[in-house]
Amino acid sequence: MFTTENTVIGFIGTGVMGKSMEGHLLDAGYKLVVYSRTMDKARVLLDLGAEWAESPNEVAKKSSVIFTMVGYPTDVEEVYLGVNGLIQNGKNGSYFIDMTTSAPSLAVKIAKEAKKRGIKAIDAPVSGGDVGAKEATLSIMVGGEQDAFDEVRPLLALLGTNVIYQGKPGAGQHTKMSNQIAIASNMIGVCEAIIYAEKAGLDPENVLRSISTGAAGSWSLNNLAPRMLNGNFEPGFYIKHFIKDMRIALAEAEMMGMEVPGLTLAKSLYDQLAEKGEENSGTQALYKYWK
């Protein structure tokens, strides 16, 4: 049982979503040790009472539960499996929870290596973007051993409202790939619908009022289409990270012998935007492809 008196939580990664999630853990009364490559990104959290760590190594030594949310699978591998990483320096009986969207095969490898050292590792990628992180309404998809999930579920519940155990190590990441595949084609449809409405001479905001509550309704239509119309392309989720996710999903689909034409098209469109300098924009910037 994790209590605010006996548990020190580590968190590696203070990006758009991670920063909000760490804030929820602080609000719940937990002692928090944070690390990111740039200390300035953690300044708000430090002002709220979090403790700074100089490396993942230091986080591992000071914490019994460690969350990670970094950028790419290469970052995950370095943080967990590097010489100064979490597994090499983690304490027996610790819990590691990776919330990065990463490769399922890497999640399996991390779980195996962690188990050798008496550490329980869970893959728990999320969906819900910056809004879900701020409001603690994320959907959290969990892979790992059932008993480990049962033990950390109260902590995950501080970050999301839809926390679902999907199965063995890697299952959380496979579920996130399903999520990203659904979003990829949906984003094309959302953008085409808005552009079509504009070219037809309609008021696109009024069109949204009709179609967002009908059969076409989706999270992207409700949350990202209004941002498109307002010219707000700030990242709730970076294009560069979405391209990374789609690359993982394409590789996994290929290994399963599955064709994914919708995903393939979406990645090609986002690749073109990235080549034009939009890699740090939010995924709703796909709207600019037609503009």
Instruction: Report if residue 282 sits inside a domain.
Output: yes
Query: Which of 20, 167, 174, 155 lies closest to 101, judged by CA?
Result: 174
pTM of the entire predicted model: 0.93
Residue 187 lies inside a defined structural domain of this protein: yes
The residue out of 118, 146, 168 marking a domain boundary is 168
Q: Is residue 225 part of a domain?
A: yes
Mean pLDDT estimate for the chain: 96
Percent of the residues in the chain that have a pLDDT greater than 90, as a whole number: 92
In this structure, the answer to whether residues 189 and 112 fall within a common structural domain is no
Among residues 96, 145, 98, 97, the alpha carbon closest in space to that of 119 is found at 96
Choose between 141 and 2: higher pLDDT: 141
Q: Could you tell me if 238 and 203 lie in one domain?
A: yes
CA distance 228 to 251: 30
Confidence of residue 130 (pLDDT cuts 50, 70, 90): confident
Please, are residues 81 and 144 in contact by the beta-carbon 8 Å criterion?
no
- Residue where one domain finishes, among candidates 135, 151, 168: 168
Helix (H, G, I), strand (E, B) or coil at 248: helix
Residues 229 and 141 placed together within one structural domain of the fold: no
205 is in which domain, residue-wise?
174-290
Q: Are residues 154 and 178 in the same domain?
A: no
DSSP element (H, E) containing 197: helix 171-199
Q: Residue 121 pairs with which residues in a beta bridge?
A: 96
The answer, yes or no, to whether residue 40 has pLDDT greater than 90, is no
Domain membership of residue 235 (yes or no) is yes
In a domain, 127, yes or no: yes
- The residue assigned the tokens 């905001």 is 205
Q: Of 139, 168, 197, which closes a domain?
A: 168
Instruction: pLDDT band for 220, please (50, 70, 90 cuts).
Output: very high
Average pLDDT value for residue range 204-223: 96
Active site residues: 176
Structural domain count, the chain: 2
